[in-house]
Amino acid sequence: MKSLQDDLDQRRQQGLYHRRGVNQGPSSVHTRIDGRNVLSFCSNDYLGLANHAALRQAAIDAIERFGVGSGSAHLVSGHSALHHECEQALAEFTGRERALLFSTGYMANLAVGSALTGRGDAIFQDKLNHASLIDAAQLSHALFKRYPHQNLDRLDQQLSAHAADHAEHNRLIMTDGVFSMDGDKADLSELADLARRHAATLMVDDAHGFGVLGQQGGGLCDEQGLGQDAVPVLMATLGKAVGVSGAFVAGSEVLIESLIQRARSYIYTTASPPALAAAVTRALQVIRDEPWRRDKLQDLIAHLRLRAQAMGIHLMDSTTAIQPIIIGDNHTAVRLSRALFEKGFHVPAIRPPTVPPGTARLRVTLSAEHQTEDIDQLLRAIADSR
Ligand SMILES: *Cc1c(COP(=O)(O)O)cnc(C)c1O
């Protein structure tokens, strides 16, 4: 075990060591972490639903009727009426034929990669995609091609090259909708065109767009007006803006039936608690009925960008709730994050390998629960700490 200790020591020296703060209450912008009250700018609970009264009540009612655990996998006896109802609500919400629930987004992505591709097929990914998509490609046994961030000319070339050698094989493009560490959006119309021209399948992971973007909160596809034809495989997580836990894949009848038959991360795992599905179903109604949450979030984003610019704080080119501040050096980013914590602000330092070397950053995320004064306070603290 000496090598493990060496590795831990090395991580410390490189500013790459991670430690977990203990949160003493529900997800909220006002939290108590490690015994200190802080204003949080790091959660993905963008709409403030994780502790919403209606969702809590839906989960409590469901526990009264269905208990706590599902008891087994979906294909055995774990697929409850509450899961089933939630899948129907998700299909309707996304305008897809069907939807399938997964316990986590990580598992949903593994499922798509390995159920839709195999040896000889190819998976194409943006270099800044989420780690779970990268792992999905590695587990699939397909050829794995990565293109520089948002460089669709390179993707075009990679697709042509694969089609020339393996015309009869599958090509799967997997992309983040909103890039999780930069906050910018993929050009889904352009990706859908490329997919069509090269007889490839487009899969979008909308973890950070679902619930937040689009008139009804349908996500980035909704915002860009793309249905099941343009984006045949839509995946989104339910632990971020939806405020609960888990994920889903939505698409055609054939896609969903294939995942049920083939996806090992669906088949060989216990179904999530039915109460979570009930809370998700309720969350979809709240997302539809309370558009003020999306509007307020947009106002807060605009406020942050305007004020940061006026104060000379450089933000990345993002219009979403993810508003990172690039620091560069790992140690400096960690020092800044600590200094902010001492002042009562929780903003994590994101370091390699989550982001490319030399681009360590403070990942600021906003929530509809924030007030403009919270943002002003944060910016002042950042300016004072530098
Ligand atoms: C969070 C996230 C996931 C993983 O989802 P979990 O439900 O947390 O496992 C997948 N993809 C992206 C882009 C994410 O941000």
Q: How does DSSP classify residue 150?
A: T
CA 77 vs. chain centroid, Å, equals 29
Which of ligand 1's atoms lies nearest the C-alpha of 107? 9
Angle at the Cα of 292 from the Cα atoms of 178 and 43, rounded to 5 degrees: 45
At residue 180, the 3 state secondary structure works out as coil
Q: Is 104 in the pocket of ligand 1 (CB under 6 A)?
A: yes
Confidence (pLDDT) at 1: 75
Confidence (pLDDT) at 386: 81
Confidence (pLDDT) at 39: 97
Ligand 1 atom 6, closest CA:
105
What is the tens place of the pLDDT at every residue in 75-108?
999 999 999 999 999 999 999 999 999 999 999 9
Where does the chain have alpha helices with state H? 2-13, 53-66, 81-94, 105-116, 131-140, 152-165, 188-197, 220-223, 253-262, 264-267, 274-289, 292-310, 330-342, 372-385
Amino acid (one-letter) located at 363: R
Q: Is 209 in the pocket of ligand 1 (CB under 6 A)?
A: no
**Nearest Cα to Cα of residue 123 among 142, 110, 107:** 142
Confidence (pLDDT) at 15: 85
Cα separation of 137 and 354, whole Å? 17
Q: Which of 234, 237, 365 to mutate to test the pocket of ligand 1 (most atoms within 8 A of CB)?
A: 237
Compute the distance from residue 117 Cα to the ligand 1 centre, in Å: 21
Confidence (pLDDT) at 5: 95
Q: Extract the residue ranges of the chain whose pLDDT is less than 70.
A: none
Q: Is 105 in the pocket of ligand 1 (CB under 6 A)?
A: yes
**Nearest Cα to Cα of residue 295 among 207, 215, 378, 374:** 215
Q: Is 247 in the pocket of ligand 1 (CB under 6 A)?
A: yes
Cα separation of 41 and 27, whole Å? 11
Q: Which of 27, 46, 132, 204 to mutate to test the pocket of ligand 1 (most atoms within 8 A of CB)?
A: 132
Which of ligand 1's atoms lies nearest the C-alpha of 237? 7
Residue 353, preceding peptide bond in cis (omega within 30° of 0): yes
DSSP secondary structure of 155-168: HHHHHHHHHHH-TT
Residue 379 tokens, joined:
């910016």
Q: Is 205 in the pocket of ligand 1 (CB under 6 A)?
A: yes
